[in-house]
Structure 1
Amino acid sequence: MMLFQTISALSLLLSSAVAAPRNAPAAFDVMALRSASPIHFAQVNAASRGLFLNLPQSNATCEGKSSGYATFYIENEELVLYSTEGEKQKVFVDRSGMGQGVIQYITGDQGIPRYAELKGWAIDANQNLVFKGEGFVACPDSIDGAWSIWLGEGLDQPGGNTGCLGFTARTLENKKPVGCEYTQ
């Protein structure tokens, strides 16, 4: 009887392991860390092809009740906005002299600027989101009073912005992500 119970338990364990999705990307949200600043603990949102902090409303179309913040996953070094349906929305960086580290996203097979890069996203050992090892800056006075997010690769005030602050982009695991399509 004991042998039968052991075999049954092992069979159940193996069948659930086979049924579990393999290599499913881990979904996460992103929170800004910058002590004593208006962006400390602000969560990243997506709207109008850009990423923002302290955006009051993203106007995303979601498949359920959303937290109001953007959820991401990384697949093949590409940062993708989480959705279970429709075309993927992928985040790119333009580090050229013209782009100055602008971060935006495309939907489906929309074209990207000439020098834009989709690959290079990672989560470092401290659970921080980085692009090719670089962190980020946020600049005030963007849409609806939000802070626009740029790559922080040596430019303190990218795109002619002023008052920008460097920040750490801490990832927060999202175990119950809600798929959304973000505005163009």
Structure 2
Amino acid sequence: MKFTLTSLAFPLLAASAPVGEPAPNPAFGVMAIRSASPIHYLQLNAASQKFYLGGNTASYCPTQVKNCPPGNQTVFAPGGSSLDTMVPGGQQVYIDPTGALSFTQAHSVNIPQGSSLGPFHYAADEPWAHYSFAGWGASGFMACPADDNRWQVFAAIQNATVPQGNVDECLGFSAVALDYTGDIPAWQYV
């Protein structure tokens, strides 16, 4: 009997196929991929209305809310134009005039003049899904060293106003989107 690579691989692929179709556009977290760099495999975290690689997610839940979500991980709502939160009105994601990836305060739609609301893209590429920003001629995202051992995330544009003043110190990265299937992760991010 003659076996080909296809005839051997097909049963293995069929056995590993998901039972149901995955959500075409799920809620997701982000992990940075940039080999041989200090940001490789760092999680994207929301804090101080900005996003960082490294550090911790900053969230809040009012004491009168029963069963508050833990708020210890940053998750985007499907599509990536807002955060996955319980707070009424949600929290929108945008690029501020300096180029920083940012999010609105809870209960507010206030976005600084000159900001960009996208386009943000979630793409279910193989083998990993990706999150990106294509406005202002950007080629995705970059991480720039901040003064607190974190890396602040910006649109990958040459004229960004970065924490240490030198955009050449920033590292472009692939923003791998990791599906999130749990309960809503946070009441609000702060």
What residue number does 1:32 align with? 32
1:61 Cα deviation from its structure 2 partner: 2.3
Name whichever structure is richer in strand by fraction. 1
What residue number does 1:136 align with? 141
- Mapped to 1, the partners of 2:24 and 2:130 lie a distance apart of 20
Match of residue 74, structure 2, among 70, 85, 102: 70
Is 1:151 matched with 2:155? Answer: yes
1:101 Cα deviation from its structure 2 partner: 1.7
Task: Give a deviation string over 1:57-107, Cα, whole Å, max 9, x none.
Answer: 3331263334x33100235xx61111133331111113xxxx242221113
- Mapped to 2, the partners of 1:125 and 1:64 lie a distance apart of 27
What residue number does 1:182 align with? 189
The answer as to whether partners of 1:71 and 1:177 remain within 8 angstroms in 2 is no
Q: After TM superposition, list the pairs within 5 Å mapping 1:36-55 onto structure 2.
A: 36-55=36-55
Q: Indicate the RMSD between aligned Cα atoms, in angstroms.
A: 2.5
User: In the alignment, residue 157 of structure 2 is paired with which amino acid?
Assistant: E
What residue number does 1:104 align with? 102
The answer as to whether partners of 2:144 and 2:170 remain within 8 angstroms in 1 is yes
Bigger shift: 26-35 or 102-111? Answer: 102-111
Percent sequence identity is 30
Structure 2 segments unaligned to the other structure (5+ residues) = 1-22, 62-67
- Mapped to 1, the partners of 2:122 and 2:24 lie a distance apart of 16
Aligned length: 151
What residue number does 2:91 align with? 89
1:130 Cα deviation from its structure 2 partner: 1.0
- Mapped to 1, the partners of 2:51 and 2:139 lie a distance apart of 16
1:25 Cα deviation from its structure 2 partner: 6.1
Structure 1 segments unaligned to the other structure (5+ residues) = 1-22
What residue number does 1:60 align with? 59
- Mapped to 2, the partners of 1:25 and 1:81 lie a distance apart of 14
- TM-score, with normalisation over the residues of structure 1? 0.71
- Mapped to 2, the partners of 1:174 and 1:130 lie a distance apart of 17
- Mapped to 2, the partners of 1:31 and 1:44 lie a distance apart of 6
What residue number does 1:114 align with? 113
Match of residue 82, structure 2, among 80, 83, 86: 80
1:125 Cα deviation from its structure 2 partner: 4.7
- TM-score, with normalisation over the residues of structure 2? 0.69
User: In the alignment, residue 115 of structure 2 is paired with which amino acid?
Assistant: A
- Mapped to 1, the partners of 2:157 and 2:124 lie a distance apart of 20
